[in-house]
Amino acid sequence: MTSTIGAFELTEARRLFEAEAAALAATIITEEQLREIEEILGDMIKENVRKQKGEMADRRFHVAIARGHAQFGDHLAVIENLWDIRHKSPLCAHMLERARSVGVQPRISEHRRILAALRKHDSQAARNAMRDHLAPSLTGCSPRPRPMRWIVRARKPSANAMNTRGGWRFELTRRLILVRPLKLPSVD
């Protein structure tokens, strides 16, 4: 089953469960648990400096938040399973490796914002911080979320642009939809 789960679907599920886990944790988290999360954040900073793969501290950070409301044990199990799938699913593992190969690392400032909301015991701020933290993953592992833009260019098809749709080709890029004339290579 895990082989059919893609990075987008997994992140969408994490965003739902982990945002609610953060909100629940904010209401009952203890000072001891907050200190543990702060120590984990320090480990995450060290991993980023070493450019360490595997993101063990990142996982520990998110699981510690879920553990922050231990009376909801089902949430903890779901979140741990989602993190397991992240590494077991070939599709997710591939996307994670691609992101790491271009230098994407856990974003410390976003984790600090989550921790700050937990410290204030502000459930709405914790929920929003976690949602915002996971949003860039839904837009192509970008460091900052960007809205999807739809662009259609109307141009007269060139003489060598041919297909069954009047010479126009639809091209999907990561964040843009472009309409361009289809240029076929000449066969001589």
CATH assignment at residue 70: 1.20.120.530
Per the structure block, which two tokens stand in for 51?
């450019």
State residue 155's pLDDT score: 40
Query: Is residue 78 situated within a structural domain?
Result: yes
132 and 161 housed in the same domain:
no
159 and 67 belong to one structural domain: no
Same domain, 111 and 25: yes
Query: Is 39 contained in some domain?
Result: yes
User: For the whole model, what pTM was predicted?
Assistant: 0.69
Are residue 81 and residue 107 in the same domain, yes or no? yes
Check residue 172 and give its pLDDT: 35
pLDDT tops 90 at residue 54: no
* Same domain membership, residue 160 and residue 91: no
The residue-averaged pLDDT of 139-159 equals 42
Long-range pairs for 46-49 at CB < 8 Å and ≥24 separation? 47/105, 47/106, 48/105, 48/106, 48/108
Closest CA to 148 of 176, 116, 185: 176
Q: Which residue has the higher pLDDT, 120 or 12?
A: 120
**Do 56 and 90 fall within a single domain?**
yes
Kindly state the average pLDDT of the residues 34-59: 90
In a domain, 187, yes or no: no
Q: Please give the pLDDT value at position 151.
A: 36
Range ranked top by mean pLDDT from 15-24, 63-72, 160-169: 15-24
Q: Comparing C-alpha atoms, which of 164, 141, 118, 153 is closest to residue 22?
A: 118
Looking at the structure, tell me whether residues 54 and 128 fall in a common domain: yes
In single-letter form, the type of residue at position 94 comes to H
44 shares its domain with 104: yes
Instruction: Give the model's pLDDT for residue 104.
Output: 76
Q: Which of 71-75, 77-81, 102-106, 170-174 has the lowest mean pLDDT?
A: 170-174
Look over the chain and give the mean of its residue pLDDT values, rounded to a whole number: 75
Q: How many domains does the chain have?
A: 2
Q: Is residue 143 part of a domain?
A: no
> Could you tell me which residues come within 8 angstroms of residue 123 by beta carbon, excluding any fewer than 6 positions away?
22, 23, 24, 26, 27
Query: Higher pLDDT residue, 53 or 15?
Result: 15
Asked if 104 and 141 count as a contact pair (C-beta separation under 8 A), the reply is yes
| pLDDT bucket at 87, cuts 50 / 70 / 90 | confident
Residue numbers of the domain that contains 68: 2-138
